[in-house]
Amino acid sequence: MTTAHAYAFDAHAPVVPTAPAVATLARLGEHLAAGFFEAPAQSIVQRMGRALRRHLENREAPVWEDHLLYPGGRYNIWEGGRIVTFQYSRSLHYDARVCQELRQNHPDTALDLKALHRCLCDYPMVGAPISPEFRLGGAGYTHSIPNFGRIAREGLDRYQERIGQCLERARARKDDEAINLCTALIDVLAGVRAWHAACLAHLESAPDPGDARPGVTSGGSPRQQLLAALRRVPFSPARNLFEALVCANFVYYLDGCDSLGRIDQDLGSYYDQDLAGGRLTEEDGTRLVRALWENVDANSGWNVALGGSNGEGKPAYNGFTRAGLRAARSIRRPNLALRLRRDTPRDILDLALDAIATGCGIPALYSEEGYQLALRRAHLNIRQEDLADFAFGGCTETMMHGTSNVGSLDAGINLPQILTRTLERELPVADRFDALLNAYYADLRHAIARLVAEVNADQEAKAQWQPQPIRSLLVDDCIDAGVEFNAGGARYNWSVVNVGGLANVADSLAAVRRLVFQEQMLTGTDLRDALRADFAGHEALREKLANCPRFGNDDPEADELAASVSRFVFTDLRRYAPWRGGRFLPACLMFVTYAGAGESVMATPDGRFAGAPIADSAGPYQGRDHHGPTAMLRSVTRITHDLAPGTLVVNARFARSMLQEPEQRERLIGLIRTYFDLGGMQLQINVVDQAVLREAIDHPERHQDLVVRVGGYSEYFNRLSPALKASLLERTEHC
């Protein structure tokens, strides 16, 4: 196994590019690389800070196209260079192929680029220690949520002061790591100011649209309002909703367009004050929030958590929450997560179901009580006053708003893949089902230990070689602690690990137990041979396997196996601690990866062919739940959800009438509440008609805007692979 200590990279080796070579990189537009090698004797975090500064100083401002918020539309602030790039998850990334291409196309720079290659070809990249078999949805991936509310309230000028105070303390105690971090953050803020100035200059020179339409606040046209706001934020505190939104939007682009977290709690007081003071109407508030959502969508950004509880345990639904739900209709992103309490106001539920009824699959629904209980039981040392601030990054990886660094997803375990190895070895020799199951558990335990070791090696390598100065700036408590983000500076640290294919394993084990051990219709060797043959010549056997108990139908035989396997995996994972701290939190977040996850898995005893997709979530395998939604959800709640607070995604597909007809809506709301009362924690709903999906496959040009809920998020149907499209058709539609 590769570990952090196995890398031979020497950051200060004599092959570091010379000053002329650094100038060459800058001339080629590789400002990030040039900045990284500008002062090679400095620490890695200082060099990364200088790299980001040089990139931001040279980054062109985005074009303003009459957006209500600026920046607006698709814009990746970290685009620019090609050889060395930066991204919120993988940090610094070197592309040897691009370097080689430039060496061939620019012979005058060949020697300089050769020196760059010699220096970076062995640079430790994020995720490198994670084996391919554990890259189920991620390999060292890290979503995050900046503290948007604090930035809006204090402004980045106050952050600059805090960095200066931290630097004074660090120098007094001769803390080199804190000194290095602070000097890196000073560089980063200088770069942010330069990019902010470029944005202002562009906006000042941009003509107003011909119609000179009014903005959504008093004070002139949208361009004039944006100029007034951007001359203040994000460096000074925001005074109203518009300034707070402009601030949050600016920081969102700066962070790389990841997740907004509890943005309704950060900005809700501004919204409600402006509404109460007559400075804002609900219509204009919804337009502004929709503009933010459209920016998230344009950049394929990620999660927003709405509602839930405040720090005092009271309901936290405000005007911004409601505007966020109204603004979500028919949009693909953000991936809204609505936190539902037992006393959630009815209008919130109706707004949520109205949005889902448009077919966009958002918001997904989350049990407030379930998550708070699960986080308490996970022993993550979350302060009581912080507990309500859980939110989600990416698809729906559980983290704390503005204060956490969560591996999401750090790695994943493919349960059917491990089962096939166990069956190949044990089916011919096992004389009891319990012996077979125990052999599988032993294989799982061994795989989990390997996965944990590789994740920890990756986390340690990131702390040493891949610092994140942007998130060290934007996430608490890195500045005040004087500790870099990837070195553990965030207040809360843990790791979310994916667990895929549970339904396949439950159905497979149920079939093996019945046909091989209970009814003895065939031997273990017979079944192994059929699996090896991918059921060729064994069609009758495959039919018998299909008639065995299936998870998702309230059948104790299959459901108890799902409960047993999941409990084993969840508890075994939680025996370990990540290198950066906290715990490993199990999750099932297959989003669009469940088709690819099955490609390397041979045939399984549930009747699944080799290479076919595995289960798309923590629920039943696509199309195998035949006894209605109540039976399906009862099966799912036999899994102990609170052992997996990383989030167990559960997909449900309902007829549109379930959301549109009053009596049916009441029934659906009752079903959701009962599901949460039984221990379910997350539910996401699709309402796209089967006929529409079939037509979209045959005539994609007619359905360019068709959005469907895939796994952990919604996506345009036409962007999905053929295997994913087929699997969506297989999902059971409940009515």
pLDDT of residue 729: 62
Lowest mean pLDDT segment, chosen from 81-95, 104-118, 196-210, 505-519:
104-118
Residue 236 sits at φ, ψ, to 5 deg, of: -110, 160
pLDDT of residue 3: 35
pLDDT at position 11 over 50 = no
Residue pair 734/632 in contact (Cβ under 8 Å)? The answer is yes
Q: How far apart are CA 89 and CA 491, in angstroms?
A: 18
Quick: pLDDT tens for 557-585.
999 999 999 999 999 999 999 999 999 99
Quick: pLDDT tens for 604-635.
999 999 999 999 889 999 889 888 889 999 99
pLDDT at position 731 over 60 = no
pLDDT of residue 728: 64
- Cα–Cα distances in angstroms (integers) from residue 358 to residues 67, 127, 328, 417, 634, in the given order: 25, 38, 9, 37, 27
C-beta pairs of 269-277 under 8 Å, 24+ apart in sequence: 269/318, 270/152, 270/238, 270/240, 270/241, 270/243, 270/244, 271/241, 271/318, 271/319, 271/320, 271/323, 272/318, 272/319, 272/320, 273/240, 273/241, 274/240, 274/241, 274/242, 275/319
Quick: pLDDT tens for 382-420.
999 999 999 999 999 999 999 999 999 999 999 999 999
pLDDT at position 61 over 60 = yes
Residue pair 150/247 in contact (Cβ under 8 Å)? The answer is no
Close Cβ partners of 58 (under 8 Å, ≥ 6 residues apart): 26, 29, 31, 80
Quick: pLDDT tens for 399-409.
999 999 999 99
pLDDT of residue 703: 57
> Which residues are paired to 493 by β-bridges?
405
Lowest mean pLDDT segment, chosen from 99-103, 412-416, 439-443, 591-595:
591-595
Residue 331 sits at φ, ψ, to 5 deg, of: -105, 155
pLDDT at position 6 over 50 = no
Consecutive H or E run containing 714: strand 714-716
722, two tokens? 């053929």
CA 372-377-381 angle, to 5 degrees, is 85
192, two tokens? 């942010």
- The answer to whether the peptide bond before residue 363 is cis (omega within 30 degrees of 0) is yes
pLDDT at position 217 over 70 = no
pLDDT of residue 733: 56
- Write b or e for each residue in 381-408: b if 16 or more Cβ atoms lie within 10 A of its Cβ, otherwise e: ebeeebbbbbbbbbbbbbbbbbbbbbbb
User: Chain-wide mean pLDDT for the chain?
Assistant: 92
> Which residues are paired to 135 by β-bridges?
none
To which residue do tokens 């053929």 refer?
A: 722
The strand ranges marked E within 519-650 are: 584-588, 647-648
Q: How far apart are CA 685 and CA 672, in angstroms?
A: 11
Three-state DSSP class for 663?
helix
396, two tokens? 């729906």
Please, where are the H alpha helices in 59-154? 96-105, 110-120, 148-154
Distance, first Cα to last Cα, the chain:
50
**Closest to 593 in 3D by CA, of 709, 728, 712:** 712
Is the pLDDT higher at 530 or at 660? 530
pLDDT of residue 715: 64
Residue pair 78/31 in contact (Cβ under 8 Å)? The answer is no
583, two tokens? 């715990």
Q: Which amino acid does the sequence have at 168? A: E
Close Cβ partners of 83 (under 8 Å, ≥ 6 residues apart): 25, 28, 30, 33, 94, 95, 98, 99, 102, 113, 116
pLDDT at position 454 over 90 = yes
Q: Summarize the chain as % helix, strand, coil (round to 5).
A: 50, 10, 40
> Which residues are paired to 685 by β-bridges?
652
What is the DSSP track for 291-309? HHHHHHHHTT--EEEEE-B
Q: How far apart are CA 212 and CA 208, in angstroms?
A: 6
pLDDT at position 212 over 60 = no
Residue pair 288/242 in contact (Cβ under 8 Å)? The answer is yes
Percentage of residues in the chain having pLDDT higher than 70: 92
pLDDT of residue 442: 98
Quick: pLDDT tens for 235-260.
999 999 999 999 999 999 999 999 99
Consecutive H or E run containing 266: helix 263-276
Rounded to an integer, the average pLDDT of 713-732 is: 67
pLDDT of residue 528: 97
The strand ranges marked E within 596-706 are: 647-648, 651-654, 682-686
pLDDT of residue 727: 64
Rounded to an integer, the average pLDDT of 449-457 is: 98
Percentage of residues in the chain having pLDDT higher than 90: 79
Please, where are the H alpha helices in 513-582? 524-532, 539-546, 556-573
pLDDT of residue 14: 41
Close Cβ partners of 144 (under 8 Å, ≥ 6 residues apart): 88, 255, 258, 259, 393, 399, 404, 405, 406, 471, 475
pLDDT of residue 711: 59
Q: Are strands 492-500 and 303-307 parallel, antiparallel or unpaired?
A: unpaired
pLDDT at position 705 over 70 = no
- Cα–Cα distances in angstroms (integers) from residue 653 to residues 192, 361, 709, in the given order: 45, 10, 9
Rounded to an integer, the average pLDDT of 324-330 is: 97
401, two tokens? 């708003």
pLDDT at position 10 over 70 = no
To which residue do tokens 């000042």 refer?
A: 204
Report CA torsion sign: 377, 380, 384, 387. Answer: negative
Q: Are strands 84-87 and 91-94 parallel, antiparallel or unpaired?
A: antiparallel
